Structure 1
Amino acid sequence: MNQYINKPTSAFIAASWVALIAGIAAYIIGLWNAQMPFNEKGYYLILILYGLFAAVSLQKIVRDKLEGIAVTSIYFGLCWASIIICAFLLTIGLWNASLQLSEKGFYIMAFLLSLFGAVAVQKNIRDLDYLRTHSQTPKLPEFPNTDHNDDSQ
């Protein structure tokens, strides 16, 4: 790896988890309380799940490329396409939804906060795992005791 990985601070780790949990919770609570048919709620639920998966996959593949891990162009393209498709579907769904403008903005912001949180949490997990596996100090070889003085006599 060509770059130096800094250990994420506890504050950034906590903020990442809070962003992820707050974004998902707000989105799900908003869906639960929304006055829309179940099939529409299911559409928005699938979009958040698809978006989270796509964001984590994209973050992983970008990191793999940085670390010199072989990445196929088809998977890289699929990850980007998934993010774009997900954002497009959310935009189309909200554009055509019979929701107030403030509700539409709420869903957009909760969605984006969730994706940001997922990427940040994935990055932190990856950084901590890398540091844990690569920062183990090598053990010094143990040499046999060369002291031939025998004090027991």
Structure 2
Amino acid sequence: MTHQALRIIFIVAALGFSSGSHAGNIKNDYEKAAAKGDKEAMLNLAFLYEAGQGVKRDHTLSRRWFEKAASAGCAEAMNNLGSLYDAGDGVKQDYARAKYWYERAAAAGSPSAMHNLGLLYSAGDGVQRDEKAANSWFSRAAAAGFSAMMGY
């Protein structure tokens, strides 16, 4: 299970699977923290809007919160922006933008982004197919703790 999926499960559990006042309070708490520059709160708001938990599902707001968190230096948000553009999830598919965000996240230490760069190079999505570069990124991801790459 990915870190993103675990975070969404945690947020959903914290919301109590409801859209009532408790869910609204959590959203409000995240918004207050985000207004003070808390990048984790920005990231959590992005996940709330992505999953539609306690709020109406909204890909545009989700992307905007990922962008704000990325601008605040959140590597996980950078990686998630890469994933949005890689898959065309709520945005027009754009491998060049996916690569840009994955590279920023990898430079910030994200093992998932390193893995995702390996996938881009392995498949030749938006880049020239390059197994050597792919293997290099997979090795970096494993060294940085990306568990799916252990033993690669």
Whose relative contact order is higher, 1 or 2, with alpha carbons under 8 Å and at least 6 apart?
1
Task: Say yes or no: TM over 0.5.
Answer: no
| TM-score, normalised via structure 2 length | 0.28
Structure number with greater Rg is: 1
What TM-score do the two structures reach when normalised by structure 1?
0.28
